[in-house]
Structure 1
Amino acid sequence: MVFKTEKENMSTVVFDLKGMTCASCAMTVEKSLKKIPGVKEASVNIATELATAVIDPNVVSEREMAKAVADAGYELIISHEKKEAEKDTYTEKVKEAKLRMIWAWLITGPLALLMILDMTAVVKVPYFNLINILVSFPVIFIVGYPVIRSAFVALIHRGTNMDVLIMLGVTASFVTGILALFGMNIADYSAVGAMIMGFNLIGNYLETSAKGKASEAIKKLLKMSAKTARILDKDGKETEIAVEDLAVGDTMLVKPSEKIPTDGVILEGDTTIDESMATGESMPIRRTIGDKVIGATVNQMGFLKVRVTNVGDDTFIAQVVNLVEEAQGTKVPIQTLADKVVGIFVPAVLFIAAGVFLFWLLDPATGHRIMLMASSFLPWVNPDLGIVS
């Protein structure tokens, strides 16, 4: 948790979130946070996977907020569980999304070609129905497992998201293959279900890549900070410690060309400091005894003794990161409008699909087309509003 401002006992905090896949997920998390006593405002940004909330810390705790989000089927990262971005989690997510996309199309590509050949009667593929089922199953239920899991989690928690539409569409398509295999008069569309999952995984990969780029600014800022600091202990001996272990009042030793570990005041020394990362000033600035220095700036010339004045969330770099996170977590008016639409979009699509199912059910002559007509409406309508929002 990062405290940003305090006014009338209210604090603005920012949390990382996990498990969200679409704007509908963000709306669900936002509603769960707003229901908690002590939470005045809450805003969730799907692009950055950040939740920004105005709370009364005397009324609500971060664990209560984490539990409320967990009850909705998602995960909120509380402060002592959050590691300051040393590990590039988005890089791992992008790699996984890319791998799933590649595997999906390595399997589905040949299947799609066989389907075209079979439909055009160029080549009559023996046991094509069985091949469809055997090849489609791993694409839909193994490679596409995160989508299926996300949909079931949403349904278990009495919610809906875009993955619910995909799951219902591809599952219904797969079931047509099973029914056809057992002799029912119904066309086999299990291969189409695999293709739909493949296209959806392409979208997931592009979305994950975009989210990773949205957090690049914060990563670059955090990488600017020094990792260790040399201090004088009580006996006057020089000791190297992690920057996180610095305390206000410690005396840091900074050699020429080294980064200043954290904010402080010069006790001894005269130097010039490159403060371009903080102020944009292209020329080094002269600093001497009594002057304040900023963490992560570069000492260029002299040897310095610096007394620590700010650590942790009170440092200049931390405040800049907080401001960037707050800006990323804030919604523009058009996004707020889009989220309201998305809130009713998925239920509306499910309602229309059910209506299509019932409509075709009334016509016995075309009863075998019921599942096709209803299921085909579900996945293809998904990107139209979900991606735009």
Structure 2
Amino acid sequence: MCSFCTMSIERALKRYPGVKSVLVNLVHGIVLVEADTTKISRAELTTAVEKLGYNVSYTEVQQYATDEAIFSVIKQRGRIGMALALLDLIVDPFNVFSLPAYPRALFSFGVAAVMLLWVGYPILRKTLLALGQRVINANVLLSAAAWGSFIVGSLSLIYPGWPNFLPVAG
């Protein structure tokens, strides 16, 4: 979580009636909310935080278990993503196998699609949740860049004069 994300969380939660103050601790990943419980319930606050794409844990044990599960998935997808990125680097920009441009671009398209939709799914999910809450954060900016390069790269398959940004998208 970055400082831009903390500001986004604070701004989004302060929109709810009854929320007086929001403090986000970057180091510990904790959000402290001071709220008037006659205007907003704990369950509503939990839902508000989850709508932003973050998990809510009420105890340290629950937080540790959630964090371990998330880190395990991130590590697994990260390894697969690195392997795919290295393979794409060998096939497309380096052209080790001396393939024509179009098959290399198709290969990069497939790798980029897997990277954006499966490996990067947690970022995509948080992006969609942030946009749904009218919040611009680092996930939204990263997704805009990745999907923009994917779209331009995809258009290069149809219009060969366009630049092939597919290796960048993945």
- TM-score calculated relative to the size of structure 1: 0.38
Point out where structure 2 has 5 or more consecutive residues left out of the alignment: none
More strand per residue: 1
In the alignment, which residue of structure 1 is the partner of 2:32?
52
More helix by share: 2
* 1:187/1:60 CA distance change after superposition, 3 Å: closer
- Going from structure 1 to structure 2, the CA distance change for 1:110 and 1:64 (only over 3 Å counts) comes to closer
Q: Structure 1 residue 140 and structure 2 residue 116: aligned?
A: yes
How large is the Cα RMSD of the aligned pairs?
A: 2.7
1:168 aligns with 2:148: no
Instruction: Find the residue that maps to 2:92 and give its secondary structure.
Output: helix
Whether 2:49 is the aligned partner of 1:73: answer no
Asked if the contact 1:66/1:75 (under 8 Å) is kept, the reply is no
Q: Measure, in 1, the Cα distance between the counterparts of 2:90 and 2:55.
A: 43
Number of matched pairs: 167
After superposition, the C-alpha distances for 1:112-155 in whole angstroms (9 at most, x for unaligned) are 1223423xxx6531321111112221112211111112112212
1:52-131 pair list within 5 angstroms: 52-57=32-37, 60-70=40-50, 73-74=52-53, 77=56, 82=58, 85=61, 88-118=65-95, 124-126=98-100, 127-131=103-107
Q: How far has the Cα of 1:84 moved from its partner? A: 5.3
Listed one character per residue, the Cα deviations across residues 19-76 of structure 1 (whole Å, up to 9, x for unaligned) are: xx54333223222333445443320123322122334445543234334445x53457
Deviations 1:197-228 (A, max 9, x none): xxxxxxxxxxxxxxxxxxxxxxxxxxxxxxxx
Question: How many angstroms does 1:101 deviate by?
Answer: 0.9
CA distance in 1 between partners of 2:168 and 2:44 (Å): 44
SS in 1 for 2:99: coil
Q: Determine which structure has greater relative contact order: mean sequence separation of CA pairs < 8 Å that are 6+ residues apart, divided by chain length.
A: 2
Change over 3 Å in CA distance of 1:44–1:67 after alignment to 2: same
Percent of paired sites with the same residue: 25
Q: TM-score, normalised to structure 2's length?
A: 0.80
Partners of 2:83 and 2:55 lie apart in 1 by 35
Structure 1, gaps ≥5 residues long? 1-20, 195-389
